[in-house]
Amino acid sequence: MRHLILLALWLLPASRIKNRLLTACGHGIAREATARSNLVWKVQSFEMAPYARINRFNLIKGMREVRLSEHASIGKNNIISAHAAYRRIPGSACLEIGEHGYVTSRHGMDCSGSLIVGAFSAVAGFGSQVLTHSIDLTRNAQTAYPVVIGERSFVGAKCLLLGGARLPARSVLAAGSVLTDAERSDQGLWAGVPARFKTAVEGRWFDRTIGATRDVYVPHEDRTIPAGF
């Protein structure tokens, strides 16, 4: 019955009343958070800190825990899920997004082994896939490992991140790359199939103090429009 009530509440438009009702039913949605209409099914714990945001039309199901820190956000039309077997295992089936971190739109995320997106990091573009669980052919058993995106790191469009993958802090995963569970510690640009270290990166994005990038650069005029996006 609780799952049905939560399903109905999550379909409501964003409001502080909705936040209070969700909290009364066992989720922890801050008064200042924005929780728009989404299909949320069998999620044990859903925590949204002040000013966290989740946009419309996401499917989130089978999770043990979803946690958005202050100013963290999720865009539209994402599929975020975990296999039911992992929902019963502590530390598995979790999605955690740090302060000012964000996931944009139209991504697919298998969080059976858990996904951690660091503070000020971004799963950007569209069409990336996170696959944390697979079959261990040696043991003939299902297995799952967490995927970790370090703080102030950037994942481009249509990437594939496999269970056990870790993107170092202040790094970039180039569009279309495959990040495996290989050991890596160098901060910078990772690209290719599988992703390999290419070069160091730098830029204002890595030192910003708010998550969203709102300025618009106009190449043919070589000028930037503040807050134009």
Q: Which one-letter DSSP state was computed for residue 98?
A: -
Its pTM stands at 0.95
How far is the C-alpha of 170 from the C-alpha of 203, rounded, in Å?
Answer: 10
pLDDT for res 215: 87
- List all residues 6 or more positions away from 222 whose beta carbon is below 8 Å from its beta carbon: none
Could you report how far apart the first and last alpha carbons of the chain are, in Å?
42
What token pair was written down for 168? 């170092």
Stretches in the chain below the pLDDT threshold 70: none
- The conformational region for residue 170 under phi > 0 = left, psi -120 to 50 = alpha, else beta, is left
- What pairing do the DSSP bridges indicate for beta strands 59-61 and 39-41? parallel
pLDDT tens figures, 119-133: 999 999 999 999 999
How far is the C-alpha of 66 from the C-alpha of 154, rounded, in Å?
Answer: 21
